Chains A and B, each alone.
Chain A
């Protein structure tokens, strides 16, 4: 086997192996450098994998040459490489932006910090690529445990409590998923997702399969921060180190949405998951209430990081809702929004990083007057905010267009109104921040609020440019999302 054929394995193994190396490398700049190097290599590999899959169809990789059901297999189709590239690219940009900034993390923990980030990423990549249900659980635990530790590294002591809360909720979620896997294994006798999906249709009448399905959905719902299982997320994002909030906002929940898509559509199939089982209505109702509730919380919130976190919950609600439409258009919209939302939210969180460090806090009043002292950072923040609102010529508008058309297609007027009200509320909470930035005088003009370093501005503006680029040229995003949808739904006609 050539090296090129080993790429699916390398992208997961590389961060996993580099993680202990980071600890060995020590607390100097070497650990950070190693981490960045690994992340960028993974990004390069994911680009290569994407082009391979686009050119020559899905890739099947078997570990050690053991064929499933004996060995562990990876299955790379359009959806997985699409999400892989997204997660790799976002983390590479966010981490390059963050690594030069004096961290909120104390100097003696930097090597652990980098090691944990690599572990979390390795877990994400594994979840995305694996074709084995138990393997999915293992990688989920790897990424979750690393995330708990990362969040607990926040400077504020409440970070510990937030991390603990996340740990409890995350573990419950993971156990539910494990029970779900157990039930399915019991019924189908296999852990390979493809085998499962082939054997399941005959077994859908059994309550074991149905219970397994329910366990799966609740578990993933917890990880996804689906309303009303979302309450760990605002705390976790608020108290985590700023750079970790930026990283997780663009990756962790996106991977959870990927899991939801993979399990409901890939394993159970759209017929069972969304038509026989009432998941479609459930997702519509929960997603819709999530949009309303979380947007309302964001409108009332004064803490910028928590505000953005609530906004994330609302945006995840959109994705759940789109999936709940149970149509090709809906699934496409969900995937598209998954991509676009990762772009905008990581840009927003990344723009907050220098604020936390230079101004010393992330409440609304800390933003005052930053339009003058940090013009470039705040311009980027504003543009990403416009994308979140869904102004034309931004990625957010493309998402909104597809969300609305998929809802209109089924004449679900209530949903149309809900989406529009949601974006109106996004306008309100974004504008609340923009007014502080551009209209208020700085609270303490002596505080040295300087422009963010260029190392942060470059990745930040790349993200912003991506927001605008994918608002104008959607060949890549829409094209991939549509093809991936066809591939997913085509498997279960």
Chain B
């Protein structure tokens, strides 16, 4: 199969979906069918790319040439394919979930929602496939802008304020730091291509390289490295499917993916290793891991807690990338996948709880396991995966990351990882424990903080075992939770791609 055709399709298919969705706004059933069908098509395309031989000579697609000698171009490499596979697989699943969720919530402006969602996926695919830093930057900004209407979907003042923080931090970091870093790189080396071994050599001097690395890493606001992490909790005001796919998978993973790309293909591990500033950044990532975990423990709002957990987990990936050793990079790449599946499951569960019983806070979840056993079981599985316990997929990535810290000799970071696992244990596992072992503090049928728009139906319905979220949501939850399990037993699928990354 022709690789450049596949890459073109990956960008075009979601865009076509956006256009079709916009035209079918009047007919919700048709609109949702299109979303699902296009999602399936995209998945097939991505799978085909995953199976293709990347050493093929036509693995390069030029979209445009905005500056002389500097193209907007796509080129597939193992890490990007892996990222595309994750996003491509989770998009249809999330769409399935979103259909159930948005209808149960009777959300407004659903057409705009699906439209912006599709554009965001297209941008994500563009990031995954970009052949050079400029292309990545363009799609990166496009992703920020296309997710803005999703974050502010509800349109109230909170959403508007969150939107400001979201856009402010993401655009400001990329414009203030990443853009000048990119132009500087272009002037120094005359290329922005992602090349195995990197384009920035040690001949440029330690000072220049250190400054560039700082600009690049802080410029990637989407990686939520402290102190530029505030946008992620703010974005939780969005509808849950958005938090699930975009703020647990596409957007944040685009951030850490960018960090990995910069480390592997712009600097190269050999160069990164020699810089003092790399250690500083790795320690900063370690600090982010711990600080975010501690903040997560204090958050009672479930989505906020998950958001801080995401900040912490992104710290893992950034840290792994900056260890300067191969195992670190491998661990980071694996962690992108493992965390994606686990965190999307957690968010799906949070949304399911919101739809079914209109609860948003952890302290309200006592005894919920009786009513929503499937949801809470999935929550348990995903929590275990994030903590990194067998038999869940997260075990492998955490193992590799630990080994990476040992290889690099930064023992402090080994300790950070271990402590962080304990903290994860506390703030994540306490939730299913409450749900399964504690008795409900109040009758479950009375909504604790029912939003004014909430359907009063729940008040009349008796408590029944298995009175859960809409079926679509449950299917989606089951798929992603199962994936967490399966990835433990067949990690070879991932190792194949990760191992092929030229280091």
* Most B CB within 10 A of own CB, among A392, A416, A471: A392
0/1 interface trace, chain B 148-177, chain A, CB 8 Å (1 if under):
000010010000100010011001100110
Among B21-29, B61-69, B89-97, the stretch that binds chain A is B61-69
Contact of A431 among B155, B164, B183 (CB under 8 A): B164
Given contacts A391-B145, A427-B171, A478-B68, contact A420 B137 (CB under 8 A): no
Instruction: Let me know if B66 and A439 touch, CB within 8 A.
Output: no
In the complex formed, the residue of A with least CB distance to B186 is: A405
**CB of B468 within 8 Å of the partner chain:** no
**CB of B406 within 8 Å of the partner chain:** no
Contacts of A427 in B (CB 8 A): 167-168, 171-172, 175
| Distance A438 CA – B187 CA, assembled complex (angstroms) | 40
Contacts of A386 in B (CB 8 A): 145
Instruction: Let me know if B160 and A439 touch, CB within 8 A.
Output: yes
Contacts of A424 in B (CB 8 A): 172, 175-176
Given contacts A472-B64, A472-B66, contact A390 B180 (CB under 8 A): no
| Distance A8 CA – B184 CA, assembled complex (angstroms) | 42
Instruction: Let me know if A401 and B152 touch, CB within 8 A.
Output: no
| Distance A421 CA – B179 CA, assembled complex (angstroms) | 12
| Distance A472 CA – B142 CA, assembled complex (angstroms) | 14
Q: Which of A438-492 contact B (CB under 8 A)?
A: 439, 471-475, 478
| Distance A474 CA – B134 CA, assembled complex (angstroms) | 15
0/1 interface trace, chain A 407-436, chain B, CB 8 Å (1 if under):
011000000100011011001000100010
Instruction: Let me know if B66 and A420 touch, CB within 8 A.
Output: no
Instruction: Let me know if A405 and B66 touch, CB within 8 A.
Output: no
0/1 interface trace, chain A 368-404, chain B, CB 8 Å (1 if under):
0000000000000000001000111100001011001
Instruction: Let me know if A405 and B187 touch, CB within 8 A.
Output: yes
In the complex formed, the residue of A with least CB distance to B177 is: A420
Contacts of A405 in B (CB 8 A): 183, 186-187
| Distance A401 CA – B187 CA, assembled complex (angstroms) | 12
Given contacts A431-B164, A439-B160, contact A416 B180 (CB under 8 A): yes
Given contacts A390-B175, A424-B172, A439-B155, contact A409 B187 (CB under 8 A): yes
Instruction: Let me know if A408 and B183 touch, CB within 8 A.
Output: yes
**CB of B105 within 8 Å of the partner chain:** no
**CB of B141 within 8 Å of the partner chain:** yes
Instruction: Let me know if B66 and A473 touch, CB within 8 A.
Output: yes
**CB of B439 within 8 Å of the partner chain:** no
Q: Which of B40-90 contact A (CB under 8 A)?
A: 64-68, 72
**CB of B138 within 8 Å of the partner chain:** yes
B interface residue count range (under 10 / 10 to 19 / 20 to 34 / 35 or more): 20 to 34
Instruction: Let me know if A404 and B145 touch, CB within 8 A.
Output: no
Instruction: Let me know if A401 and B183 touch, CB within 8 A.
Output: yes
Contact of A439 among B67, B145, B152 (CB under 8 A): B152
| Distance A244 CA – B23 CA, assembled complex (angstroms) | 37
Contacts of A408 in B (CB 8 A): 180, 183-184, 187
Contacts of B172 in A (CB 8 A): 424, 427
Instruction: Let me know if A392 and B142 touch, CB within 8 A.
Output: yes
Instruction: Let me know if B160 and A404 touch, CB within 8 A.
Output: no
Distance from B322 Cβ to chain A, minimum over Cβ atoms (Å): 25
Contact of B180 among A398, A404, A473 (CB under 8 A): A404
Contacts of B167 in A (CB 8 A): 427, 431
| Distance A405 CA – B160 CA, assembled complex (angstroms) | 34
In the complex formed, the residue of B with least CB distance to A402 is: B67
In the complex formed, the residue of A with least CB distance to B72 is: A472
| Distance A424 CA – B68 CA, assembled complex (angstroms) | 26
| Distance A398 CA – B134 CA, assembled complex (angstroms) | 12
| Distance A421 CA – B152 CA, assembled complex (angstroms) | 25
Contacts of B176 in A (CB 8 A): 420-421, 424
Contacts of B184 in A (CB 8 A): 408
| Distance A21 CA – B439 CA, assembled complex (angstroms) | 90
| Distance A404 CA – B185 CA, assembled complex (angstroms) | 12
Distance from B130 Cβ to chain A, minimum over Cβ atoms (Å): 12
0/1 interface trace, chain A 128-166, chain B, CB 8 Å (1 if under):
000000000000000000000000000000000000000
Distance from A437 Cβ to chain B, minimum over Cβ atoms (Å): 12
Contacts of A400 in B (CB 8 A): 179
| Distance A439 CA – B163 CA, assembled complex (angstroms) | 11
Contacts of B65 in A (CB 8 A): 473, 475
Contacts of B67 in A (CB 8 A): 398, 401, 474, 478
Instruction: Let me know if B64 and A392 touch, CB within 8 A.
Output: no
| Distance A19 CA – B138 CA, assembled complex (angstroms) | 47
| Distance A166 CA – B425 CA, assembled complex (angstroms) | 70
Distance from A385 Cβ to chain B, minimum over Cβ atoms (Å): 12
In the complex formed, the residue of A with least CB distance to B152 is: A439
In the complex formed, the residue of A with least CB distance to B160 is: A439
0/1 interface trace, chain A 165-196, chain B, CB 8 Å (1 if under):
00000000000000000000000000000000
| Distance A427 CA – B169 CA, assembled complex (angstroms) | 12
Instruction: Let me know if A391 and B141 touch, CB within 8 A.
Output: yes
0/1 interface trace, chain B 335-375, chain A, CB 8 Å (1 if under):
00000000000000000000000000000000000000000
Q: Which of B168-208 contact A (CB under 8 A)?
A: 168, 171-172, 175-176, 179-180, 183-184, 186-187
Contacts of A431 in B (CB 8 A): 164, 167
Distance from A257 Cβ to chain B, minimum over Cβ atoms (Å): 23
| Distance A398 CA – B70 CA, assembled complex (angstroms) | 12
Distance from B233 Cβ to chain A, minimum over Cβ atoms (Å): 20
Distance from A422 Cβ to chain B, minimum over Cβ atoms (Å): 10
In the complex formed, the residue of A with least CB distance to B135 is: A392
| Distance A471 CA – B145 CA, assembled complex (angstroms) | 17
Distance from B298 Cβ to chain A, minimum over Cβ atoms (Å): 31
Given contacts A398-B66, A474-B66, A478-B67, contact A404 B186 (CB under 8 A): no
| Distance A390 CA – B172 CA, assembled complex (angstroms) | 12
Distance from B159 Cβ to chain A, minimum over Cβ atoms (Å): 8
Contacts of B179 in A (CB 8 A): 400, 404, 420
Distance from B11 Cβ to chain A, minimum over Cβ atoms (Å): 13
Given contacts A420-B175, A473-B66, contact A392 B180 (CB under 8 A): no
Instruction: Let me know if B64 and A404 touch, CB within 8 A.
Output: no
Contacts of B155 in A (CB 8 A): 439
19 contacts between A and B (CB under 8 A): A391-B141, A392-B141, A393-B138, A401-B183, A404-B183, A405-B187, A408-B183, A408-B187, A409-B187, A420-B175, A420-B176, A420-B179, A420-B180, A427-B167, A427-B172, A472-B64, A472-B66, A473-B65, A474-B66
* Nearest 4 Cβ contacts at the A-B interface: A392-B138, A472-B64, A392-B141, A420-B176
List 15 additional A-B contacts (Cβ < 8 Å) besides A391-B141, A431-B167: A390-B175, A405-B183, A408-B180, A420-B179, A424-B175, A427-B172, A427-B175, A439-B152, A439-B155, A471-B66, A472-B64, A473-B64, A473-B65, A473-B66, A474-B66
